């Protein structure tokens, strides 16, 4: 249900639950995903991957593969010269797409093949002889910082610090030593979280075609086709304008499709073979060689006065970045204490390299792990103080005017209302039975804006084509059509939203950071307003009156002033019909850097039951409360809340990359990497709060990520309450729960 308590604006169609425009195609199989496109003469591309966690590549002999009938191209790093111009991030991308002198993790690509069919391509892979020299490896984030740990990337090693420690991001304010000295109660604990994958249903897939004239096309499942275009063009020495990238329908991304993985290789194979090349990752490849999230290890310390005032907090979390540096620790450091007003706080996020795949973003990247440690510690602090954990959070909650731990003073924010909604929710008064426990936790995510442009074209019949460059990961087409309809004053059904390819619009940043509806929504509003200016001009021409005498209201031009009393309003359709005689096509366009994204907060409640015999946890009831700013299409917003909570439940209870002592991934398949399915979950209740973002015309904040932040902490608290033993490690899988129970009773 919408809660209009905080909403100031009145809307006509925004906020309604209209039919989704992509629904029919998706349920009937008509929607075209990454693997659904074909081209005449296309080849099948496959990748040869390292079987070692860390190895020097001494030699690659592809001569037999190249001679195999049906093989049209083989490439190795020798075919991919370094064109990165000293850009270290881009060089990392190049090296991740294809190993150069060393394979850095199990599954690292070492060669690519394009052949006439899959059977031939697989035969060719077997004929490529790679001579490896195995090197010592490290896959655990704490072990990677041991003095004798092998150095994963010597080029990032710096004097005065461990070679695998890339950097530390430190945030906070006040004097934590002074704060802890003032505390009556201090709780200090250590926690760990496992590495998880976003687990999107659709694997990475693309169809690449490069012509001898240097132009190319890429059809691909991606969250950011403009970023893919730019990256691929830079890595392959192509002109950006000559590579057209079209985003397919996307079967989930959650951050994992913000980076290129095999797409530059598909283009390189196509260029070499002079034929289109289609590549589709297997599920094992997705696990081993795309971008999962970090595993972590952390130490949390929080101190409070007897009255419950938290006076000091410190967090240090080590984020396993895989074989290439990222900013994951930095983000964790920024988010750690964002929900609270703590006079003295310090959070340190440490980025550490290991012989695992390059980490990518995963829905509010880095925040869930830190929140697991912080929210678990706050519950233990409440226990020590003998106070209610929700009341303790409310007593210390961040509000408008609070200094955020990473710097700015908060504007209007929603953490206190979400906590109040949790406190007052009937869920909190439901009785619990034997072996059952309840947990609550809070979460924060920034949300972002970025470069955006959109095109709004009005057809001769008055229907509207809206073209945007942010791909639709969770309902953007419906939301943006609602926004266009709201502005123009027409029916939702009269607007069709399209995702433009890279040749049809200017650069759009990737759909990440919950920015799609915020940014493209803003661009759509201003494009529609520009179109309305044109519509008013055309109406003035049709009426032969000054444009200043024309207003736009409820989808029609109105002539104002007594002298125009005889003029009946002209609808958008009336004006569109005559566009050819009044100046030609009617359109609105807007391009901008959308800044001013509104931060978002959520509070969750969960009830669990733990079977003491098996250690299995059942989620009995789950409630999400989140501030959306403004819910444009409430069904989709609720879906985002539920989806994020479901992913968090999987992370909290079962999902985990398991590496053997040989440094190889042991569970690269859904049979062994246990994601929750429908039968594992209850219906997840949602409550949307709307505290408008003052920097957006409709008050929109992002909604897609925040609700993956609280589940780890909420479930950790619930399980701990159910079994009477504190859980310090995620996932809380049955063996881990049984071990905790055994350890406690020993």
For binding to other proteins (CB under 8 A), which residues are involved?
87, 89, 167, 169-171, 198, 253-256, 258, 327, 330-331, 333-334, 360-365, 404, 406-411, 445-451, 512-515, 593, 595-597, 695, 702, 705
Nearest-angstrom CA–CA distance, 74 and 56? 20
Nearer to other proteins, 332 or 588 (CB): 332
CB burial of residue 667 (10 Å; 0-12, 13-18, 19+)? middle
Query: What minimum distance in Å lies between the beta carbon of 153 and other proteins?
Result: 16
Nearer to other proteins, 171 or 340 (CB): 171
Length of the chain (residues)? 746
Instruction: Note whether 479 and 409 are within 8 A (CB).
Output: no
Query: What minimum distance in Å lies between the beta carbon of 197 and other proteins?
Result: 12
- Quick check: helix, strand or coil at residue 715? helix
Query: What minimum distance in Å lies between the beta carbon of 595 and other proteins?
Result: 5
Nearer to other proteins, 157 or 186 (CB): 157
Query: What minimum distance in Å lies between the beta carbon of 175 and other proteins?
Result: 12
Contacts of 360 (CB under 8 A, 6+ apart): 198, 255, 256, 258, 259, 290, 291, 292, 293
CA angle centred on 163, ends 160 and 169, rounded to 5°: 75
Strands 165-173 and 185-193: unpaired
Instruction: Note whether 248 and 220 are within 8 A (CB).
Output: yes
Unique residue bearing structure tokens 């009617």:
586
Query: What minimum distance in Å lies between the beta carbon of 428 and other proteins?
Result: 30
209 - beta bridge partners? Answer: 217
Nearer to other proteins, 40 or 85 (CB): 85
Nearest-angstrom CA–CA distance, 231 and 237? 10
Nearest-angstrom CA–CA distance, 179 and 476? 45
Neighbouring CB atoms inside 10 A of 222's CB total: 29
Query: What minimum distance in Å lies between the beta carbon of 234 and other proteins?
Result: 13
Backbone angles phi, psi at 536, to 5 degrees: -65, -40
Nearer to other proteins, 254 or 324 (CB): 254
Nearer to other proteins, 174 or 569 (CB): 174
Instruction: Note whether 556 and 489 are within 8 A (CB).
Output: yes
Instruction: Calculate the alpha carbon distances from 218 to 244, 278, 283, 491, 639 in Å.
Output: 6, 10, 21, 35, 30
Query: What minimum distance in Å lies between the beta carbon of 467 and other proteins?
Result: 22
Helix (H) or strand (E) holding 285: helix 283-289
Nearer to other proteins, 515 or 536 (CB): 515
Query: What minimum distance in Å lies between the beta carbon of 168 and other proteins?
Result: 8
Nearer to other proteins, 209 or 452 (CB): 452
Query: What minimum distance in Å lies between the beta carbon of 188 and other proteins?
Result: 24
Instruction: Calculate the alpha carbon distances from 117 to 39, 41, 279 in Å.
Output: 14, 11, 11
Nearer to other proteins, 106 or 705 (CB): 705
- Quick check: helix, strand or coil at residue 386? coil
Query: What minimum distance in Å lies between the beta carbon of 445 and other proteins?
Result: 7
Can you read off the two tokens belonging to residue 612? 């003491």
Strands 464-468 and 495-499: parallel
CB burial of residue 578 (10 Å; 0-12, 13-18, 19+)? middle
Nearer to other proteins, 45 or 449 (CB): 449
Nearer to other proteins, 335 or 720 (CB): 335
Query: What minimum distance in Å lies between the beta carbon of 516 and other proteins?
Result: 11
Nearer to other proteins, 195 or 258 (CB): 258
Nearer to other proteins, 87 or 504 (CB): 87
Contacts of 376 (CB under 8 A, 6+ apart): 189, 191, 300, 713, 716, 717, 720, 726, 727, 728
Strands 684-689 and 617-627: parallel
Query: What minimum distance in Å lies between the beta carbon of 360 and other proteins?
Result: 8
Query: What minimum distance in Å lies between the beta carbon of 604 and other proteins?
Result: 18
Unique residue bearing structure tokens 């007052």:
424
Instruction: Note whether 333 and 171 are within 8 A (CB).
Output: yes
Query: What minimum distance in Å lies between the beta carbon of 658 and other proteins?
Result: 23
Nearer to other proteins, 308 or 702 (CB): 702
Contacts of 42 (CB under 8 A, 6+ apart): 207, 275, 276, 277, 278
- Quick check: helix, strand or coil at residue 558? strand
């Amino acid at each position: 249900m919408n809660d209009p308590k905080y909403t100031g604006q009145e809307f006509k169609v925004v906020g309604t639950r209209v039919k989704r425009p992509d629904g029919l195609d998706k349920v009937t199989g008509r929607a075209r995903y990454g693997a659904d496109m074909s081209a005449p003469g296309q080849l099948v591309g496959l990748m040869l991957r390292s079987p070692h966690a860390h190895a020097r590549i001494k030699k690659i002999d592809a001569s037999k593969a190249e001679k195999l009938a049906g093989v049209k191209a083989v490439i190795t790093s020798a075919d991919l010269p370094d064109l990165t111009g000293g850009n270290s991030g881009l060089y990392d991308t190049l090296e991740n797409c294809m190993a150069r002198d060393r394979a850095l993790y199990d599954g690292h690509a070492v060669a690519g093949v394009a052949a006439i069919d899959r059977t031939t391509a697989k035969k060719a892979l077997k004929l490529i002889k790679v001579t490896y020299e195995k090197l010592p490896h490290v896959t655990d984030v704490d072990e990677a910082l041991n003095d004798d740990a092998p150095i994963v990337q010597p080029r990032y090693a710096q004097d005065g610090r461990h070679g695998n420690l890339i950097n530390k991001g430190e945030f906070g304010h006040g004097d934590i030593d002074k704060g802890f000295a003032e505390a009556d109660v201090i709780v200090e604990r250590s926690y760990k979280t496992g590495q998880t994958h976003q687990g999107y249903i659709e694997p990475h897939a693309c169809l690449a075609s490069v012509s001898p004239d240097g132009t190319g096309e890429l059809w691909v499942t991606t969250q950011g086709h403009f970023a893919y275009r730019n990256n691929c063009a830079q890595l392959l020495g192509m002109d950006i304008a000559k590579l057209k990238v079209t985003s397919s329908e996307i079967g989930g991304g959650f951050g994992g499709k913000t980076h290129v993985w095999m797409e530059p290789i598909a283009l390189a194979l196509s260029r070499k073979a002079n034929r289109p090349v289609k590549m589709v990752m297997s599920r094992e490849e997705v696990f081993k060689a795309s971008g999962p999230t970090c595993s972590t290890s952390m130490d949390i310390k929080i101190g409070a006065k007897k009255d419950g005032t938290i006076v000091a907090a410190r967090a240090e979390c080590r984020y396993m970045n895989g074989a290439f540096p990222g900013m994951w620790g930095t983000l964790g450091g920024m988010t750690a204490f964002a929900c609270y007003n703590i006079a003295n706080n310090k959070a340190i996020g440490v980025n550490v390299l290991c012989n695992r795949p390059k980490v990518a973003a995963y829905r509010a990247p880095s925040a869930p792990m830190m929140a697991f440690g912080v929210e678990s510690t706050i519950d233990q602090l409440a226990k020590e103080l003998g106070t209610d954990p929700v009341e303790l959070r409310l007593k210390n909650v961040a509000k408008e005017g609070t200094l955020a731990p990473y710097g700015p003073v908060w504007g209007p924010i929603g953490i206190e209302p979400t906590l109040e909604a949790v406190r007052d929710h009937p869920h909190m008064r439901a009785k619990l039975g034997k072996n059952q426990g309840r947990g609550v936790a809070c979460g924060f995510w920034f949300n972002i804006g970025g470069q955006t442009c959109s095109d709004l074209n009005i057809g001769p019949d008055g229907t509207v084509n809206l073209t945007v460059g942010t791909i639709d990961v969770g309902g953007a087409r419906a939301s943006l059509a609602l926004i266009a309809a709201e502005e123009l004053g027409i029916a939702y059904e009269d607007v069709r939203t399209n995702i433009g390819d890279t040749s049809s619009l200017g650069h759009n940043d990737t759909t990440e950071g919950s920015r799609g509806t915020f940014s493209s929504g803003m661009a759509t509003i201003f494009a529609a307003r520009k179109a309305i200016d044109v519509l008013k001009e055309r109406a003035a021409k049709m009426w032969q009156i000054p444009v200043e005498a024309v207003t736009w209201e409820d989808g029609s031009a109105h002539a104002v002033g007594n002298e125009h009393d005889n003029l009946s309003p002209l609808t958008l359709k009336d004006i569109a019909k005559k566009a050819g005689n009044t100046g030609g096509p009617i359109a609105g366009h807007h391009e901008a850097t959308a800044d001013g994204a509104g931060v978002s907060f959520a509070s969750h409640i969960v009830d669990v039951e733990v079977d003491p015999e098996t250690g299995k946890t059942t989620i009995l009831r789950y409630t999400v409360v989140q501030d959306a700013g403004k819910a444009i299409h409430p069904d989709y917003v609720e879906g985002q809340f539920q989806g994020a909570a479901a992913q968090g439940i999987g992370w909290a209870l079962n999902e985990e990359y398991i590496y053997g002592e040989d440094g190889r991934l042991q569970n690269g398949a859904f049979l062994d990497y246990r994601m929750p399915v429908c039968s594992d979950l209850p219906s997840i209740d949602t409550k949307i709060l709307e505290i408008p973002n003052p920097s957006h015309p409709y008050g929109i904040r992002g909604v897609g990520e925040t609700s993956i932040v609280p589940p780890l902490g909420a479930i950790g608290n619930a399980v701990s309450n159910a079994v009477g033993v504190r859980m310090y490690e995620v996932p809380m899988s049955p063996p881990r729960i049984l071990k905790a129970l055994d350890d406690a009773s020993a």
